[in-house]
A and B are shown apart, each in its own frame.
Chain A
Amino acid sequence: MGSHEVAGEHQVAHHFKSALDEFEACKQAMWIFLVTEVLFFSGLFVAYTVLRVFEPEMVKAAHHFLDWRLGALNTVFLITSSLTMAFAVSASQRGDNKRVVRQLIYTLILACGFCVVKIYEYSHKFHDKLLPGAHFGNTELTANKAGLFFSVYFVMTGIHALHVVIGMGVILWVILRARKNEFSPNYFTPVEITGLYWHFVDLVWIYLFPLLYLVG
């Protein structure tokens, strides 16, 4: 077992028996990581649920101050970016590095679109003093404890946006590797697991959008 197995230009790490073993280990690790992500967000979903159960009227009143059209636009951005990501993954499995680069650039552009909309929304909220907890100062929204809704809104969407930005960094790194023609039918692990991560980020938004923007 001493010699290193070569797959494309990629060298299999010494403690794995084959390229397939290594690929499966990486993929399993990514899935486990995504489980930790689900549990990380679950705390926020519980906080949201508690707020909604105990203050249903306030949540209803406060959600009108979020623009559902912007939320919907961002949903379209992310779902489309998941599609281009899926194209990139399947291209990498065929070793078509050019197409990987092209599809990932589309993904990045859509992610940028998401961020621009988010920044626009945030700046509006700051302007209208629709802010978390102690900083809430909007005079139109008079519901009791409305600051808590915006605490939940900012923390949930903020942490999600952070995931989007980190994802963009990772996608950029994969693009640079694809430009060096590193991926082949024998080795496409980074594209595959980045894809898993990106779909997860998309999925979180698909829950956030109705919960925050489309309250009954």
Chain B
Amino acid sequence: MGHGVALAHGDNYINHSKGLKSWLNTLDHKRIGIMYLIAILSFFLVGGIFAMLIRLNLFSPGSTLVSPSKYNQLFTYHGAIMVFMVIIPMIPAAIGNMVLPMMLGAKDVAFPRWNLASFYVYLSGAAIACASLFLNGVDTGWTFYTPYSIRTSTSAVWVLLGAFVMGFSSILTGLNFVVSIHKLRAPGMGWGKMPLFLWALYGTSVIQILATPVLAITLLLAALERIVGIGIFDPALGGDPVLFQHFFWFYSHPAVYIMILPAMGVISEVVPVFSRKPIFGYTAIAMATFGIALVSFVVWGHHMFVSGQSEFANFLFSLITMFVAIPTGVKVFSWLGTMYKGSLHFHAPMLYAIGFIFVFTIGGMTGMFLATLATDVHLTDTYFVVAHFHYVMVGGSLLGFLAGLHYWFPKFSGKMYAETPAMIAAILINVGFNVTFFPQFILGVLGMPRRYADYLPQFTTLNRVSTVGSWIIAAGFLLVLFYLIHALLRGKKASDNPWKALTLEWQSPSPPPHENFLVEPVVTDGPYDYRGAKAGPI
């Protein structure tokens, strides 16, 4: 690997060409990934501020901070921004864009121009959605349920169209990734030698390709409902509002797996590297990805147990939903099996990965409570649901994202972040997360409904604990922001392969050159063959 150290000081993708224009017009997947990352983190900040305001308002009973109608807007924007603008593109479009071609040993994704287009489509959609902020806002919740979304006097149509446009960006990314994985693998990389992060991105892309168009037509019909009054979802005109729920969840349930599968992929990379051991159950994890993707398409009805759909449908959806636990369990036990008797290195990526396994398992197990009909009827629309999906989306996707961000940071910035503050931040975020959301499970079981600006006085203590937890998370994120910026400006130079990992991206200099590799890589060993000398400590 001697070539990298010498040449890393020379030409790389960051200094390959200069000026803002060379970034805005770039076709380089690494730069596009960086631009996605900056945009997504900015939206994450906005969505996070909304979250902090929600928690602040709930610090005491009564609408202490904002009026109830403003509160409705707060949780709507928090949800819509975090789902459509942050979590869905977070790992695939930002980290995936940077890492996927390099892991494949390719020079770029299959269609670089469409890749850049997807970024601008994403920005346009986000701009359209955010325009509503300066009009009348939106207060429908991120689910846009009809008929309320038809009747509300707020600017729902802007957010509907914004999400519609962003969907195309998601489709383009998915399409690009699938074709890249099929056509651009390095010589010697058969399907069985592909890193599991790529398997995860493949599964994610399949869902993006199959589910997002259904969301597109749903949102388009809902927008037409508001603009023209077509009546398909409007009971006043003879339409069926439950049909909207079916359409919406046919996308939005698989979308949950668009959020979690890539995070699982990151964990599958990080765990073997920091355990210095081959991954346990490579094939099982790869196949479980497709198991989850497949089942995700036939469980949407579990969001509608109290919508009035037939009891037979309820029974069927409940049963199928339970099946999600099988491939998910396969993955969790494979990660644990990888760590078992490994020589564990508790660097920041590994801390996030362990946090992920812990928190995600709680999120998954509580999903079983909600899949069970009898308990779900009691728990529907309570804080139990809020806690459950935050354990999966935040505890799962976000912790996976943070693991990936730290893991690949040295590769793409060429700098090392400071390990001690990173470990403190990882602990703060993991602890803060559990302090925030665990009390919400209890609140939900006690019957506190979601989406209200106010609550009964007996819920005060648990709500206060939850709000204090949100401050701990915020402190953790501010610390991350601080030391990552510090690392970019003053960090120590990173070596080409600081984690002694075996996937292809680490064979290139840090930061990588414009065309990714100095010599076209050829794959001989598997991506996780940590045996003999390769299993040595980091």
Residues of A at the B interface (CB closer than 8 Å) are 1, 13-16, 21, 24-25, 28-29, 32-33, 35-37, 39-44, 46-47, 50, 54, 132-135, 144-145, 147-148, 151-152, 154-155
Contacts and interface: CB of A to CB of B under 8 A. Distances in A.
B184 A15 contact: yes
A135 B183 contact: no
A147 B237 CA distance: 8
Contacts of A47: 221, 232, 243
Given A15-B108, A50-B240, A151 B213 contact: no
Nearest to B228: A132
A187 B72 CA distance: 56
B230 A151 contact: yes
Nearest to B178: A32
Contact of B238 (A21, A29, A43, A147): A147
A185 B211 CA distance: 37
Given A40-B216, A43-B221, A155-B230, A28 B182 contact: yes
Nearest to A37: B213
B210 A39 contact: yes
A130 B9 CA distance: 70
Contacts of A46: 243, 247
Nearest to B180: A25
B221 to A, nearest CB: 7
Nearest to B215: A43
A28 B110 CA distance: 11
Contacts of A41: 217
Contacts, number: 113
Contacts of B217: 40-44
Interface in B483-538: 515, 520
B212 interface: yes
Interface string B220-254: 01001000111110100111100100010000000
11 contacts: A15-B107, A16-B184, A29-B110, A32-B178, A35-B209, A40-B216, A40-B217, A41-B217, A43-B247, A47-B221, A147-B238
B247 A133 contact: no
Interface of B: 101, 106-112, 171, 175-176, 178-179, 182-184, 209-214, 216-218, 221, 224, 228-232, 234, 237-240, 243, 247, 515, 520
A13 B101 CA distance: 15
Contacts of B179: 25, 28-29, 32
Contacts of A29: 110-111, 175-176, 179
A41 B184 CA distance: 31
B347 to A, nearest CB: 32
A151 B209 contact: no
Given A25-B183, A46-B247, A147-B238, A132 B520 contact: no
Contacts of B112: 13, 15
Contacts of B178: 28, 32
B186 to A, nearest CB: 11
A14 B234 CA distance: 52
Q: Which 9 A-B pairs have the closest CB atoms?
A: A133-B231, A134-B229, A43-B217, A145-B238, A15-B107, A151-B230, A40-B213, A39-B213, A15-B108
B497 to A, nearest CB: 23
A43 B218 contact: yes
B213 A133 contact: no
Contact of A133 (B212, B218, B234): B234
Contacts of B182: 25, 28
A44 B230 CA distance: 13
A134 B108 contact: no
Contact of B183 (A14, A24, A145): A24
A147 B236 CA distance: 12
Given A132-B228, A148-B231, A152-B232, A32 B209 contact: yes
Given A25-B110, A40-B213, 8 more contacts: A14-B107, A36-B210, A39-B210, A39-B214, A43-B218, A44-B217, A133-B228, A133-B234
A155 B101 CA distance: 40
B229 A132 contact: yes
Given A29-B111, A39-B214, A144-B238, A133 B230 contact: yes
B229 A36 contact: no
Interface centre among A13, A32, A44, A155 (most CB of B within 10 A): A32
A21 B183 contact: yes
Contacts of B237: 133-134, 145, 147-148
B105 to A, nearest CB: 11
B255 to A, nearest CB: 14
Contacts of A16: 183-184
A148 B234 CA distance: 10
Nearest to B101: A15
Contacts of B230: 132-134, 148, 151, 154-155
A40 B217 CA distance: 6
A165 B162 CA distance: 23
B214 A148 contact: no
Contacts of A1: 520
Contacts of A135: 228-229
Contacts of B108: 14-15
A155 B240 CA distance: 16
Nearest to A13: B112
A24 B182 CA distance: 10
A57 B341 CA distance: 69
A17 to B, nearest CB: 9
Contacts of B515: 14
A42 B218 CA distance: 11
